[in-house]
A and B are shown apart, each in its own frame.
Chain A
Amino acid sequence: MMNKIARSIFVVAASLFAFISMAADDAGQIKVVNGSVTIERDGRNMTAVPGARILQSDTLRTGEDGSVGITLTDNTLLSAGPNSVLVLERYAFNSTTHQGQLDAGLRRGTLSMVSGKLAKQSPDAVRVITPATVLGARGTEFFVQVSD
């Protein structure tokens, strides 16, 4: 019994470690901040400033007067309007092969996406996930609004 518990703890610890090392990859950078914008990372909130790095699993929140623009390492441009919650659920990009995956979660608010190199590589590489839908981005520009 103890053995089993020890093994489960090990598995959980190992997957947690894998998750953390994945999350440490640089995904992009905040370029534009208007009004109040926060980055939530590992349960802590930071004030977003231009030049700050964005990592996989980061959550961006904009206030009533807030908006934020980020450039990902594959040249995707993401920007969110006021009262938005945007989560970088998954991000991987190989700058040599241009392979990878981008899953951006828009929980609420507004999002502008100008796709980068990932969307050119494969039709399923870039997705926007909202409470009601999964969107597959096949290039160029589009907007998403999530409302109640």
Chain B
Amino acid sequence: MNRLMRVGIPAVIVALLAACAATPPPPSSKTLVVLVPGAGGRVGAVSVKSAQGEALIDQAYASATAAGGAAPVIGNSSPSQVQQVFGAAISARPQPPVSYMLNFLEGRDEYTPESRVVFETILSELGKRPTADIAVIGHTDRVGALEYNDRLSLQRTERVRADLIKRGVPERSISVAGRGEREPLVATADEVPEPRNRRVEINIR
């Protein structure tokens, strides 16, 4: 029994480890990568690493192909080719997230007149996104103590949350956070009133 365990258990462990170890790619498996311009026309870069080589593509419609473990081969694609191969994936893309900013009167959880209009824009945008996730993040300027501003920023987010719920936005889709005066949009000295920092960010995903 003891000997069986001494030999058997390590053998099982070795077999399990061998099964867990990365298996080499099947020789026929091929990966194609195509880089395209993003929103605003900016082109990023993608590094492509296979078992036998590495390459970087950083031009619009540049492609890289790696078959099995072979080194990636750089090539060119085109908008029509991309549409042909990736059309279905493109049409399943979620709407890109959007952000809005609401500004507040000094020391209060009341919107500025301009922000009342923005609030209506937010509601109409939410109407187009049935599965929206909404993050509401409150900020203050640097007038008042740190703790006071932490409370005020939360009060502002609560105001926005309550107003959204009042207009039919599902409560569970809203998350809130207060950052107080810790993340000003515009850097100022302490105790300086700055309207642009009295804000709530609404990030809609």
Contacts and interface: CB of A to CB of B under 8 A. Distances in A.
A29 interface: yes
Range, interface on chain A: 35 or more
15 contacts: A75-B96, A77-B94, A81-B87, A82-B88, A114-B96, A131-B25, A132-B50, A132-B66, A133-B31, A133-B33, A133-B72, A137-B44, A140-B35, A143-B34, A145-B86
B94 A71 contact: yes
What are the 10 tightest A-B residue pairs by CB atom distance, in nearest-first order?
Answer: A139-B44, A140-B38, A140-B44, A31-B94, A81-B88, A67-B92, A136-B47, A81-B89, A51-B131, A138-B45
A67 B88 contact: yes
Contact of B94 (A79, A130, A134, A140): A79
A146 B43 contact: no
A142 B33 contact: yes
Interface of B: 2, 5, 25-26, 28-39, 42-51, 58, 66-69, 72, 82, 85-97, 130-131, 133, 135, 205
Contacts of A119: 44
A56 interface: no
B44 A141 contact: yes
Contacts, number: 157
Interface of A: 1, 29-32, 34, 50-51, 67-71, 73, 75, 77, 79-82, 84, 95, 110-112, 114-115, 119, 130-148
B34 A79 contact: no
- Which residue among A50, A80, A130 has the maximum number of chain B CB atoms within 10 Å of its CB? A130
Contacts of B29: 130-132, 146-148
A115 B35 CA distance: 12
A134 B25 CA distance: 12
